[in-house]
Amino acid sequence: MVTFASDGKVLEEMTNSNRVEHHSKKITRVVKSSLAAESASLSMAVDKHLYSRVLFQALMYGEGQIGADWRKDLTVEGYVVTDARALFDHITTTGSLPAERATMMDLLAAKEMIEQALFTMRWVPTQHQFADHLTKTMTCELNRQYLGTGQTCLIQTGADAAREEYKSKLRKAQRERRKVRMKAGASAPK
């Protein structure tokens, strides 16, 4: 996860931002799917996100009263960004829940916080995800660009949308071919 401090313009255009923290941590529970791993990571990231906002608010406006409903008293806006489309879709739309209980609890907790307007969830394509290079062997052009300019942005360009649509079509075709192979393998005489 990577935490940035910026202003509201980050939703519309490249704007100055400061990296507050970044880290990569191995999750402690054994998971059976990438959705489970992403939801466990989201749970940890949301906790850090809320803490950063409390700290930032205290630094900007002074230490206020912290009561039982402290989350709802936050005046500093916050956005949680993911590149995991399945995670984003599960949290932002109604529908089926995963079979794993821990994953379901992580998703429901995040969904409840979004419904309470404690933060806003955003999805970005992988090439706009700052944290990917922390866990994957890859060069992060986005990070290199940030280090050069000190600016970030949370919008998706038309080129990003076109690239994501193309990848989506490829994944759909792969799934269809896999289904055909599975049916052919199941119906083959033994």
pLDDT, tens digit, for every residue of 145-178? Answer: 877 888 877 766 667 677 777 877 888 899 899 8
Task: Read off the pLDDT of residues 169-190 as tens digits, 9 standing for 90 and up.
Answer: 888 899 899 889 888 877 766 6
- φ, ψ of residue 151 to 5 degrees: the values are -125, 150
The domain locations on the chain are 2-155, 157-190
Question: What's the pLDDT score for residue 133?
Answer: 66
Find where tokens 């955003």 sit.
122
- Residue 16 in tokens: 């100055």
Question: What does the alpha-carbon distance between residue 150 and residue 128 come to, in Å, rounded to a whole number?
Answer: 15
66: tokens are: 């912290």
Strand 79-82 and strand 120-123: the pairing is parallel
The pair of structure tokens assigned to 175 is 């799934």
- Compare 67 and 60 and report the one with higher pLDDT: 60
Predicted confidence (pLDDT) per residue in 108-136, tens digit: 888 888 888 888 888 887 777 777 767 77
Instruction: Tell me what pLDDT residue 156 has.
Output: 65
